Amino acid sequence: MTRLIFLGPPGAGKGTQAHKLAELCKIPHISTGDILRSNVAQKTTLGEQAQSYMDKGELVPDQLILDMVRDRLSIPDALGGWILDGFPRNLPQAVFLDALLLDIQQVCDRAVNLDVPDEVLVARLLLRFRTEGRLDDNEETIRRRLQVYREQTAPLIDYYRDRHQLVSIEGDRSTSEVTEALKQVIGI
């Protein structure tokens, strides 16, 4: 059973790698960013509440995220394992996830940190802006997202290291090299 958290800054390749691994392991890839973007596209109440934060590169308030994650993990396809991508994003979310997992009697195996230098991140995100047209990939928002990452998300690296759950992977390599490294971590 594989249950993984993907940490790492925007542009580190979390989405790409989480998607590939989830397919290999036949488990759901749960990306809070994807769920939010689909809510924005469908103009749900959640999407309307989240959009202005996303456009600015700020974190969406925890109270909107936590129910969303609880609901997603309660869908039966997540009983056989999951990969969380983009959640938790700050300390209160990590504490919430611990309590939720205890409640639903699940254990997370590892938190994977994809390590990529800042200048590579900015270049990758600008490329994604040009190729995929994600509106929050413009230069100003990218800088804000990296700052938010450093202030709010990076402290989770220590949080999971202290609990002996952290694995750091060099992410500035080809997609397939990173996938191979990840497969070794989870033993497939």
Strand ranges in 22-165 using DSSP code E only, listed in sequence order? 29-31, 81-85, 110-115
CA count, 13 A, side-chain hemisphere, 43: 0
Task: Identify whether 37 is a catalytic site residue.
Answer: no
114 binds ligand AMP (CB under 6 A): no
Q: ∠37-42-44 over CA atoms, to 5°?
A: 95
Select 151 or 180, whichever has its Cβ closest to ligand AMP. 151
Tokens linked to 69: 């994650």
Task: Identify whether 161 is a catalytic site residue.
Answer: no
Task: Identify whether 145 is a catalytic site residue.
Answer: yes
Q: Which of 134, 143, 144, 173 is catalytic?
A: 134
57 binds ligand AMP (CB under 6 A): yes
Task: Identify whether 134 is a catalytic site residue.
Answer: yes
89 binds ligand AMP (CB under 6 A): yes
Among 8, 124, 145, 167, interactor with ligand AMP by CB under 6 A: 145
171 binds ligand AMP (CB under 6 A): no
Q: Are the CB atoms for 178 and 169 separated by under 8 Å?
A: yes
Alpha helix positions (H), 74-115: 91-103
9 binds ligand AMP (CB under 6 A): no
- Selection from 103, 94, 98, 99 nearest residue 159 by Cα: 94
Active site residues: 14, 89, 128, 134, 145
The footprint of ligand AMP (CB under 6 A) covers 10, 32-33, 36, 53-54, 57-60, 65, 86-87, 89, 93, 136, 145
